[in-house]
Structure 1
Amino acid sequence: MDFINEIIGVPRLLLNRPNSNVVFFGTLKKSISKEELQKIIFNLSHKHKLLNCKINSNNDTFYYLIDKNIEPDIVQYSNTNIEDLLKKELKHFFDIEKGPLIKFGLLKKNKEMTLIINSHHTICDGMSLVYLFKDIEKMLLGIDIDYSSRKFLFLEPSNIPQNLGNWLEKFIFYFINKKWSKKKFSITNMERLSIHEGFWRKHEPQLFIHCFSEEETAKIITRCKENRITVNTGITTGLLYIQHKLLEKKNYSDNFIIADNLRQYLIDDPKDKLGYFASALRLKLRYNNNLNFWENAMQFQSRIQKEFDTNKFESQKINLLSPKLLDAILLNLFGYRDDKIAKKMIRKSNMDIVNSTFTIANLGLVHSEENSLINTLQGPVVYSDTMEKYVGVLTYNKKLRMIISSNPKLVSNSEVQAIIGQLIGLFK
């Protein structure tokens, strides 16, 4: 067994949240047995060590513990609706003290095999599950996997190529942390389970899965290239436009979040290993009615790029906060404690409200192997209780795929369908 790395920052906050599951799925061109997948996962655990992970605590300090005796569950399903299965996976409770923090599903329906990966966000980001899915395919194809690097890498201050926070922020955080270091409490597993069950009694995720045709995808890519913007900016601009123009009965927010991959910007690049290496870039962009769609998109492109260049590690300032305070924030959020500082931070970060806007996580173009065994890929699927919609996007086999999760009490299925329909029209 190996103890590796204290859990701090965003992963520490995610550790105790009831909606920290990230789900990814795809259909295969061949059937795969449970035993075959077990063997593949065992072999891949030499590269993706967090496959055999649980969380160990020592007083108030939490660590990843790698134990080869911890094997991810593989559940077989048949003739189950994929949307119902994805909802079930989003609600799954990972017992972090027992592990593992990832599970797999095999769905056989109408001669089609679907592989589902469900992981706790503490050990993964969206790209992690793409890499893991592709490594499973490589094993099935007999392609060699690179196991050479055994170094554990994390998104932590020592691996970030810049200082987090200015002197004033560090000064304030120092005194806040000093105060919290004296407090005696910890989150128990019973409290985690209670928070989890209470949360999902109030929330029922709604999923809308859409695959753009090859022609529609080609049109989106071409139109974005013609106007010198990325596909991600094009989709983001489209969503902002639709919110304000087509669903104007709601007072939509100009604030939204773009999730991005930080791997290549770290001191030590983890490349394609399983782990949490994501950013959450919070932006406020107002659609200008005096400009046309593409003029807005070009302005947004410039703003987004500038913001990413200067603030891509902004969300990592949370690493400056005491992990104990992060635990307290979670307990205050769900009514298990009453602390003024924690509640003030909750209000300041809008953790206690649902923003009438979206988070977008575009995993980009996923390349297919020669003689690929993967028909389709879809994800990431995440349920947010602070953003009205979570939009997972990727492009595979010349088709752009989108899955939108939301709370049906806040946005109806017909509204989501209208968003997709209008989005297609914007790129014609």
Structure 2
Amino acid sequence: MIEMKQIKQNSPTTDLLGCIRRLSNVERLFLWSFQTNIAVSARIVGDVKEEKLEQAIDMVCRMHPLTRCRITFDEHHDAWFSGDSVPRAALRIVPRTSDSQWFDELRREYQVPFEPEVGPLIRFVLVHSSEVSELMVFSEHCICDGTALANLIRDILDCYADPKREVSVIPPPVITDYLQKKDGFSISTIIGSFFINRYNNQWLKKPYYISQEDFNEIHAAYWEKYRYSIALLQLEPEESHDLAVRCRENGVTIGSTMAAAFLAAYYEVIGPLPKSKRTVSTPFDLRRHFKEGNIDGFCFLSGGFNFPFVYDQKKSFWKNAADLHRIIQGRVKALDNSGLDMESFNPTLIDAFFNLAPYIKNVQNAFNKTENLSAFASDKKNVALKISNNVVAKLPGLTTTNLGRLDFPEVYGNLRLDRLFLIPSAGEDISLIIGGVGVCGRLTFSLNYLEQNSSNNPSPTRDMIRIRNIALEYLGFPEKANESWM
């Protein structure tokens, strides 16, 4: 458990106007990363009124400073959240024509780049009918995690139901104040620090700084090539209860069971993961590990770790789920944050190795569009390229993020919350990306992937739907298999 004791952020002060705080390096990782944008969508029963919703969003944005912030850079190229001169967060309203339209609107949001130095870094979409609507929140990952987005929707519905309630500002915590500190020295730590310092020094001799123009060119080229897609696994309250009972009988959590089911299904449809990809990445919510108090601020506050894991077909499904559960629970109990050990890097080097270098081969045409991008791609001795190659090579085969069962009210005035959808990012270098959330008795898990818009390669959609359907069989719901992504 983490003690509720704030530690001053290890960063210089600034005189920048409207400064909220400096971005940690974990947040900086996602600053220029359009691939890691995240969304949560809420299906709401009842007639959502536009004026009341806008008022509720305004109230919630006053509560949470990072929903109305932009990024400003100081003379050292450090990035700061600023609340100065930030436009109002956009609410786009479209008529609802089907249960699946909300995902079409999510795809549209992916096509529009954020402007970090203008802000805000969050957008709202209401897919509206008088009977049922979806309220979707689409955000840059640097200002929040999935739990923060889900809590934000709850706060909006609370304010919608009670527009006269008083709201107060909740300062956003910084994740580095809550990560476990490493005690003592180790050979790996010393060696790691030596190489990181050397990389930083090499980088600062010839750095490249990302501009909005650079970002827009890569963003446009990438989404011209790819299209974001999902396959949904949805369980109703009785089905969710049945699964929870089976999980308890086998001593595992629903999250571990879902991860094992998708791994088993992938093995059947496509085969074993490549040897270099037989690892699992698991974020976890740090908010649930405080000794006292409640950190309800809107921010990025997730731990994370990677570990090797191979689905063993010689064992039963439930034995594999138990093996996976044991590893995850042990890492979470130890508050393993090895996947977030970023603070020693120069922040602008993080920008380059995570948000420039990986795209040189993938969307090479974008790197001819600006002088800065061209120079970066031509600099073969650039240390960011070397680091990026190592990072991409170590990406996991499975990333699973599960918000768990959220204890949200079901009724908000004349509205009823039906379910939530968590839509994390998708990437071409990770075989399985799963996002899950439970609320009001219903569970939804999304299998997230990319399709190429124009390619001679077959679309992965058929395989992804088969993987979802076989996962349903492992979970005990073969009758729910279908040929639709929903």
Same fold (TM over 0.5): yes
SS in 2 for 1:287: coil
Q: Give 1:36 deviation, angstroms.
A: 1.9
State the match for 1:417 in structure 2: 465
State the match for 2:389 in structure 1: 347
Asked whether the equivalents of residues 74 and 105 of structure 1 are also in contact (C-alpha less than 8 Å), the reply is yes
State the match for 1:28 in structure 2: 44
Q: Distance in 2 between matches of 1:110 and 1:4?
A: 39
- What does 1:7-156 align with in structure 2 at a 5 Å threshold? 7-59=23-75, 60-67=77-84, 69-79=86-96, 81-109=101-129, 111-142=131-162, 147=167, 150-156=170-176
Q: Which runs of 5+ in 2 are unaligned?
A: 1-16, 361-372, 453-457, 477-486
State the match for 1:192 in structure 2: 215
**Could you list the per-position Cα deviations for residues 388-427 of structure 1 after superposition, in whole angstroms to 9, with x for gaps in the alignment?**
3321111122221122221235762222222222222223
Q: TM-score, normalised by structure 2?
A: 0.80
Q: Give 1:370 deviation, angstroms.
A: 5.6
Letter of the 1:172 partner, please give it: F
The correspondence for 1:296, drawn from 314, 317, 320, is 320
Q: Distance in 1 between matches of 2:220 and 2:116?
A: 15
SS in 2 for 1:100: coil
Q: Give 1:68 deviation, angstroms.
A: 6.6
Q: TM-score, normalised by structure 1?
A: 0.90
Q: Give 1:212 deviation, angstroms.
A: 1.7
SS in 1 for 2:398: strand
SS in 2 for 1:319: coil
Q: Distance in 1 between matches of 2:58 and 2:91?
A: 12
Asked whether the equivalents of residues 172 and 299 of structure 2 are also in contact (C-alpha less than 8 Å), the reply is no
- What does 1:202-217 align with in structure 2 at a 5 Å threshold? 202-217=225-240
Q: Which runs of 5+ in 1 are unaligned?
A: none
Q: Give 1:270 deviation, angstroms.
A: 6.7
State the match for 1:331 in structure 2: 356
Letter of the 2:144 partner, please give it: C
Q: Distance in 2 between matches of 1:145 and 1:105?
A: 24
SS in 2 for 1:256: strand
Confirm or deny that 1:260 pairs with 2:279: no
Asked whether the equivalents of residues 70 and 86 of structure 2 are also in contact (C-alpha less than 8 Å), the reply is no
Q: Give 1:265 deviation, angstroms.
A: 4.3
Q: Give the % identical residues.
A: 20
**Could you list the per-position Cα deviations for residues 59-103 of structure 1 after superposition, in whole angstroms to 9, with x for gaps in the alignment?**
312111013753100111114522211211233311111101011
Asked whether the equivalents of residues 64 and 171 of structure 2 are also in contact (C-alpha less than 8 Å), the reply is no
The correspondence for 2:265, drawn from 239, 242, 266, is 242
The correspondence for 1:163, drawn from 179, 182, 188, is 182
Q: Distance in 2 between matches of 1:281 and 1:228?
A: 22
Q: Distance in 2 between matches of 1:178 and 1:2?
A: 31
Letter of the 1:245 partner, please give it: E
Identify which range, 287-296 or 91-100, moves more after superposition.
287-296
Asked whether the equivalents of residues 35 and 427 of structure 2 are also in contact (C-alpha less than 8 Å), the reply is yes
Identify which range, 272-281 or 207-216, moves more after superposition.
207-216
Asked whether the equivalents of residues 160 and 266 of structure 1 are also in contact (C-alpha less than 8 Å), the reply is no
Asked whether the equivalents of residues 53 and 64 of structure 1 are also in contact (C-alpha less than 8 Å), the reply is yes
